[in-house]
């Protein structure tokens, strides 16, 4: 029957469309359902990542960085320019055009791989029955041998900061600003808050970031996070840690933010506020009471290490399940589940999931930090190479940052790599590959890297683990 499939994927974000394409490649009759529509009511694929997340934010980050360089950074290179301006409308059009091209590309890929696409809301019931509701109110029931939930996540809202879509906005609204605010408040100093704050700071806004935690970037290695905090403050971001927001109110086209810190009750007056305190899994209306799928206390779909739920032949991947909310993590989970349905036995190595913050300098890491290793009682050695000692970094005047390699004290196996600097979003993949294959610091030290290149910093950091670095003074010497 035409409405029965081997695999139904609910959600067409990175986790969902990767799962659907791979399942179809493996010979499984596959459908992919997503409710996202544009202003005209036309279905749009790609989920949060392509539409209001990864791609549009990186577009604005790149444009704003280039503007900042042209305005303030080229003179030191001997490049002179006239008065530099920014056309926000053109910047936003560029962003929309890129998003449109990529979302259409996903539609083309699904079509090319014979995936049946439905634009509708979907509710999973007992026995893997999926009820679709279309925008015109019509409904249809589908059935499948296997269902993959990939419904993603949505921004977290907090009671003290009710969003009005105009003055108090979430991360999606922050991507659509038509003008640079004079004063911008950002609630949350995580990845989203720092990236969006950086965009509008570069374009001329006075940005104040309020973070409830006392530590900056607590999930990153603290040596890097402390240095990153210094660099962001140097660039003009006013980052205030240990601040708990208690309320917001709009007065005369301004937003008054009330918060408490060590000094007591405080108020901050800004033109707009971005609420960027994180994201939560989206399951609203997706699961019927008899679906058999269970949620945990935080609203995530409960799964095992292979992304299987409590319901037979129902899986969940991406932001809707445990682990970091990262598009690439969801992609690998989606592919892994599709291949296991087809009879293969792949697994996702959750020890090798890279994290990246696309600020300037970029911050990236994979594996464990020094703080985590100490807490676990694992003996380790470390090697650190400053980018200021890199010939390529000096040549391009991108000398901020460092690369750190952490290795097991006995086996020398690499346990974590932490980077800050130019293009480390690309360099971190070298570390991921090394760790995926169980490399030691010595293995990296014996590997030939191109010269001159920024990646040599990873080579030198690996050599520094055993005190053999060439381009810096070693803290210890070993034969």
Residues known to be catalytic:
451
CB-CB contact of 315 with 146 (8 Å): yes
The candidate with the shortest Cα–Cα distance to 407, out of 373, 448, 455, 371, is 373
Cα–Cα distance for residue pair 340/400, rounded to 1 Å: 44
Letter string b/e over residues 93-131, b meaning 16 or more CB atoms within 10 A of that residue's CB: ebbeeebeebbeebbeebeebebbbbbbbbbbbeebbbe
What are the DSSP E strand ranges found in 271-401?
272-275, 279-281, 314-316, 355-357, 362-367, 380-386
For residue 204, the tally of other CB atoms under 10 A from its CB is 17
The candidate with the shortest Cα–Cα distance to 25, out of 339, 345, 347, 308, is 339
Cα–Cα distance for residue pair 303/333, rounded to 1 Å: 12
**64 phi, psi to nearest 5 deg:** -65, -35
Task: Kindly list the distances between the CA atom of residue 436 and the CA atoms of 192, 193, 327, 353, 388, in Å, as whole numbers in the listed order.
Answer: 27, 30, 19, 10, 29
Letter string b/e over residues 292-313, b meaning 16 or more CB atoms within 10 A of that residue's CB: bbeeeeeebbebeeebbbebee
């Amino acid at each position: 029957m035409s409405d029965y499939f081997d695999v139904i994927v609910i959600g067409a974000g990175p986790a969902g469309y990767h799962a659907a394409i791979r399942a179809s490649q493996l010979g499984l009759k596959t459908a992919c359902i997503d409710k996202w529509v544009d202003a005209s009511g036309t279905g749009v694929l790609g989920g949060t990542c392509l539409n209001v997340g990864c791609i549009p934010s990186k577009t604005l980050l790149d444009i704003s960085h280039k503007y900042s360089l042209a305005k303030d950074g080229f003179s030191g290179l001997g490049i002179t320019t006239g008065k530099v301006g920014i056309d926000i409308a053109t910047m936003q059009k560029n962003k929309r055009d890129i998003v449109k091209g990529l979302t259409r590309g996903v539609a083309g890929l699904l079509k090319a791989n014979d995936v049946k696409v439905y634009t509708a809301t979907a509710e999973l019931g007992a026995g893997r029955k999926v009820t679709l509701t279309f925008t015109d109110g019509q409904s249809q029931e589908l059935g499948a041998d296997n269902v993959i939930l990939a419904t993603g996540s949505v921004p977290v809202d907090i009671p003290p900061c009710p969003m009005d879509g105009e003055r108090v906005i979430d991360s999606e609204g922050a991507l659509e600003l038509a003008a640079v605010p004079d004063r911008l408040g950002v609630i949350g100093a995580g990845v989203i808050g720092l990236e969006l704050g950086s965009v509008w700071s570069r374009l001329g806004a006075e940005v104040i970031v309020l973070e409830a935690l006392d530590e900056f970037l607590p999930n990153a290695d603290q040596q890097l996070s402390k240095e990153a905090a210094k660099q962001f403050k140097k660039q003009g971001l006013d980052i205030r840690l240990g601040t708990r927001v208690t309320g917001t109110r709009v007065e005369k086209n301004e937003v008054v933010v009330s918060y408490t810190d060590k000094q007591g009750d405080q108020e901050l007056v800004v033109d707009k506020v971005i609420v960027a305190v994180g994201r939560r899994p989206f399951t609203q209306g997706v699961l019927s009471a008899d679906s058999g799928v269970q949620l945990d206390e935080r609203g995530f779909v409960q799964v095992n290490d292979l992304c299987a739920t409590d319901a037979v032949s129902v899986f969940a991947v991406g932001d809707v399940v445990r682990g970091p909310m990262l598009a690439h993590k969801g992609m690998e989970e989606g592919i892994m589940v599709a291949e296991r349905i087809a009879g293969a036995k792949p697994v996702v190595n959750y020890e090798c999931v890279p994290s990246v913050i696309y600020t300037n300098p970029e911050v990236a890491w994979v594996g464990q930090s020094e703080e985590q290793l100490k807490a676990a009682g694992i003996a380790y050695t470390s090697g650190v190479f400053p980018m200021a000692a890199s010939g390529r970094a000096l040549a391009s005047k991108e000398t901020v940052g460092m690369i750190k390699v952490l290795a097991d004290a006995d086996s020398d196996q690499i346990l974590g790599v932490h980077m800050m600097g130019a293009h480390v979003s690309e360099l971190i993949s070298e570390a991921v590959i090394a760790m995926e294959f169980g490399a030691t610091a010595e293995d990296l030290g014996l590997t030939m890297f191109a010269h001159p290149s920024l990646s040599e910093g990873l080579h030198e950091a690996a050599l520094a683990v055993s005190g053999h670095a060439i381009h810096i003074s070693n803290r210890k010497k070993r034969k």
